[in-house]
Amino acid sequence: MKPSTEVLLKENLKLLKLSNVLRQLETFVRQAKESGTDYGEFLLGLTEMELQMRAENRLKRRVREAKFPLIKTLETFDYTAAPGLDLRLLRELETGDYIREHRNIILLGNSGTGKTHLAVALGICACQSGKNVRFYTAAGLINQLMEAQAALRLSQLERSLSRMDLLIIDEVGYVPFSEKGAQLFFQMVAASYERQSLVMTTNLEFSKWPEVFGSEQLTGALLDRLTHHCEILSMNAESYRFKESITKKKET
């Protein structure tokens, strides 16, 4: 390629925002020359690479914006360590149909049984199918809602929550909510009803939820909406954390 052609071509690629083609142009041109690729195939290869890189970047952005506390996937989940888990249901959830249908998921089980792991893994699945996901702990979400209310920007936060396809709310039940916090949480659940999907994790049976929310009436109204279109994955088993630490101790 003549140097003047290269300069103009790079300028055009920049204007067309084909940044990946721009970056890999020289490699592609060299490889095409070496292997005698025809023009059609050359262009096809370049455009495929650009599309693939864009899809990868979109996924990375979605995962970053979801603010997962750590990355956990279904591939690294050991199903033999979760004997009570309904695998058929889990396979169905992997398809993400529940998000399209605005159904919720509740992961219920004692500490260390992989609730957060599965919630994150389902979130990553959703990111892969192009959904907007946001992860919160229940306490973190309530703090943000209360702060936003105090700063008179609650509706702004609620709008940004409503733009998510999937909200993950981890650890409902470890810490009781204040009255104000419980009300704000209820509002969030009510706003998501039949519009978005929630994945919630909890260590508490529903009968104990009034202890967290402080009011039977509010809990009733909340559970009514939350569980209307809902899958419950019961994960009670021996704690994986505990089992792992015991095995490590035995090994040392």
Interface residue list for Mg ion (CB under 5 A): 116
Which span (39-47, 51-59, 108-116, 136-144) binds ligand ADP, by CB under 6 A?
A: 108-116
Please give the torsion angle defined by the CA atoms of residues 82, 85, 87 and 88, in that order, rounded to the nearest 10 degrees: 170
114 near ligand ADP, rule: CB under 6 A: yes
Which one of 20, 113, 192, 202 is in contact with ligand ADP (CB under 6 A)? 113
Map the footprint of ligand ADP across residues 212-241, applying CB under 6 A: 240-241
The Cα 234–Cα 218 span in angstroms is 24
Which one of 21, 82, 106, 125 is in contact with ligand ADP (CB under 6 A)? 82
The binder of 111, among Mg ion, ligand ADP, none, by C-beta within 5 to 8 A per type, is: ligand ADP
Q: In angstroms, what is the minimal distance from the CB of 107 to ligand ADP? A: 8
Strands of the chain (E only): list them: 104-108, 133-137, 166-172, 197-202, 230-234
Which one of 20, 104, 116, 219 is in contact with ligand ADP (CB under 6 A)? 116
Q: CA angle, 104 as apex, 90 and 227 as ends, to 5°? A: 115
Of 169, 212, 216, which Cα lies nearest the Cα of 188? 169
Q: In angstroms, what is the minimal distance from the CB of 171 to ligand ADP? A: 7
| Separation in Å, CA 211 to CA 9, 131, 205, 215 | 66, 33, 11, 8
Which one of 21, 50, 68, 112 is in contact with ligand ADP (CB under 6 A)? 112
Which one of 62, 72, 131, 134 is in contact with ligand ADP (CB under 6 A)? 72
Closer residue to ligand ADP, CB minimum distance, 125 or 184: 125
The binder of 113, among Mg ion, ligand ADP, none, by C-beta within 5 to 8 A per type, is: ligand ADP
- Which parts of 67-100 fold into alpha helices (H)? 87-94, 97-100
The Cα 115–Cα 108 span in angstroms is 7
Please say whether the beta carbons of 109 and 205 come within 8 A.
no
Q: In angstroms, what is the minimal distance from the CB of 226 to ligand ADP? A: 19
Binding-site residue total for ligand ADP (CB under 6 A)? 16
**136: helix, strand or coil:** strand
Instruction: Show Cβ contacts of residue 81 under 8 Å, excluding neighbours closer than 6 positions.
Output: 114, 237, 240, 243
Q: In angstroms, what is the minimal distance from the CB of 247 to ligand ADP? A: 12
The binder of 168, among ligand ADP, Mg ion, none, by C-beta within 5 to 8 A per type, is: none
Q: In angstroms, what is the minimal distance from the CB of 249 to ligand ADP? A: 16
Could you count the other beta carbons within 10 Å of the beta carbon of residue 247? Answer: 10
Eight-state DSSP code of residue 175: S
Q: In angstroms, what is the minimal distance from the CB of 11 to Mg ion? A: 51
- Binding positions for ligand ADP, rule: CB under 6 A: 72, 77-78, 81-82, 109, 111-117, 201, 240-241
